[in-house]
């Protein structure tokens, strides 16, 4: 666990980088509520940072804190900010806390699923109504096509809980909670991509676009960057080297390169393995490696490389929310490596293994149809 001072440095850095109070609050969520003493000390330190966002973070802490000493420390810090000319809302009296908690429960909620091999992901956004009930927006966003589909329905809160429970049970992978403004941002991003591709947005999205925009915030980077420490990932070669193993995980099990793209390289490997020329195992292995390298460089020009960079960033968030922090760091490390152009002699481990897996899987399918296992290629 990081010490309090480290968290404070992260808050200062977040303020300098222009992060929202939501992102700053999320960065503190790792430690908040674990210890009254820690929360009290943290509230006191936050009071020394003259920034309106800090005031709003303290207000959020006040809404979730029940310890009297912690609440006193928060109120003291809010008063310090006020004396420095920072506008802050007046703390709500104790008797009003139940009302505040009710308002909290009425906030929008967001959920996101993992990205599949085609770059599609499911998103859910709920917007409660003050008079009861909520609008539930469900859609699939593709990072190459835009809004694949979108629907919005009115539900009671009880109906939505049942809907979410059933969805979690029946879906191949569970969705995870995601900041509502970010879900709205992803919907808006998909909508803009649809327009860019001169497609027709779903009518339900056009009907509910105003509600989405009210929730949406602008993000300069994927959400995961506000939750993981980059200095613990950047430059760690051993973390990057493990990224090829991500393809063995359930979340990445279906990730493959489309057959239309990978087919020429599948045929090249097959021809090399069945060549009538007298080649020893080392020569065959060298030929296979050459095919893999060619596939890597030709299948991932800059635009597609950056597409996979974003996919790995989003998957890092999914892994982190599922409690798989080490795997999340590995995924983000691979994404960060894709910021630079590919090198055939030092290939990105994830993309390189994706190439090999895609070739091998297709060859295996073909050989099974013939009733035998492929014995002439190197398994990933």
Sequence length of the chain is 380
Q: Which residue has the tokens 């993309």?
A: 351
* pLDDT, average across residues 47-53: 84
Element (H, E) at 10: helix 4-16
> Do residue 250 and residue 355 come from a single domain?
yes
> Do residue 27 and residue 123 come from a single domain?
no
* pLDDT, average across residues 211-227: 92
Contacts with 25 (C-beta within 8 Å, 6 or more apart), sequence order: 57, 60
> Do residue 168 and residue 88 come from a single domain?
no
- pLDDT tens per residue, range 186-195: 999 999 999 9
pTM higher than the cut 0.85: no
Work out the percent of the chain whose per-residue pLDDT is above 90.
Answer: 50
- Domain limit, last residue, from 220, 248, 279: 220
Q: Flag whether 236 is in a domain.
A: yes
- pLDDT tens per residue, range 252-263: 989 999 999 999
> Do residue 48 and residue 171 come from a single domain?
no
- pLDDT of 354: 97
- pLDDT tens per residue, range 146-167: 999 999 999 988 898 888 888 7
Q: Flag whether 226 is in a domain.
A: no
Q: Which has the closest alpha carbon to 351: 342, 364, 360?
A: 342
- Give dist(CA 74, CA 82) in Å, integer: 12
Tell me the backbone φ, ψ of residue 147, rounded to 5 degrees: -75, 105
Q: Which two tokens stand for residue 346?
A: 């030092």
User: Among the listed ranges 26-35, 58-67, 286-295, which one has the minimum average pLDDT value?
Assistant: 26-35
**What residue numbers bound the domain in which 201 lies?**
109-220
Q: Which residue has the higher pLDDT, 307 or 380?
A: 307
The SS3 of residue 178 is strand
- pLDDT of 29: 72
Sheet holding 146-155: strands in order across?
146-155, 134-142, 120-128, 109-112, 176-178
- pLDDT of 103: 39
- Rg over alpha carbons for the chain, rounded to the nearest Å, is 25
> Do residue 247 and residue 309 come from a single domain?
yes
pLDDT surpasses 70 at 4: yes
- pLDDT of 251: 92
Q: Quick one: DSSP state of residue 95?
A: G
Q: What is the mean pLDDT of the chain?
A: 85
Q: Flag whether 376 is in a domain.
A: no
Split into its structural domains, the chain has a count of: 3
């Amino acid at each position: 666990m990081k010490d309090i001072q480290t968290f404070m440095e992260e808050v200062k850095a977040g303020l300098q980088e222009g992060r929202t109070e939501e992102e700053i609050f999320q960065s503190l969520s790792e430690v908040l509520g674990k210890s009254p003493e820690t929360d009290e000390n943290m509230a006191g330190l936050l009071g020394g940072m003259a920034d309106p966002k800090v005031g709003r973070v303290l207000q959020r802490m006040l809404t979730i804190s029940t310890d009297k000493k912690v609440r006193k420390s928060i109120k003291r810090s809010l008063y310090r900010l006020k004396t420095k000319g920072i506008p802050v809302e007046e703390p709500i009296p104790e008797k009003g806390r139940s009302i505040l908690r009710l308002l909290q429960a009425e906030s929008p909620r967001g959920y996101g699923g993992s990205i599949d091999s085609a770059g599609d992901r499911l998103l859910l956004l709920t917007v409660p109504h003050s008079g009861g009930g909520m609008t539930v927006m469900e859609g699939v966003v593709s990072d190459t096509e835009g809004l694949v589909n979108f629907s919005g329905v009115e539900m009671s809160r009880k109906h939505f809980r049942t809907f979410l429970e059933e969805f979690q049970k029946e879906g191949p992978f569970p969705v995870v909670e995601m900041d509502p403004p970010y879900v709205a941002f992803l919907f808006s991003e998909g909508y803009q991509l649809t327009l860019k591709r001169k497609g027709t947005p779903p009518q339900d999205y056009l009907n509910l676009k105003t509600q989405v925009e009210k929730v949406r915030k602008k993000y300069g980077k994927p959400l995961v960057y506000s939750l993981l420490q980059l200095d613990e990932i950047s430059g760690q070669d051993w973390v990057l080297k493990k990224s090829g193993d991500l393809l063995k995980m359930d979340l990445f099990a279906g990730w493959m390169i489309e057959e239309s793209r990978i087919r020429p390289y599948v045929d090249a490997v097959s021809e090399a393995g069945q060549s009538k020329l007298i080649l020893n195992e080392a020569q065959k292995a060298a030929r296979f490696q050459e095919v893999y390298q060619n596939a890597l460089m030709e299948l991932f020009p800059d635009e597609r490389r950056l597409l996979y960079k974003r996919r790995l960033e989003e998957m890092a968030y999914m892994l982190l929310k599922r409690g798989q922090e080490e795997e999340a760091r590995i995924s983000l490390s691979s994404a960060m490596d894709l910021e630079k152009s590919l090198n055939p002699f030092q290939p990105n481990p994830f993309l390189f293994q994706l190439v090999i897996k895609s070739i091998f899987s297709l060859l295996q399918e073909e050989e099974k149809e013939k009733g035998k296992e492929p014995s002439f290629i190197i398994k990933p």
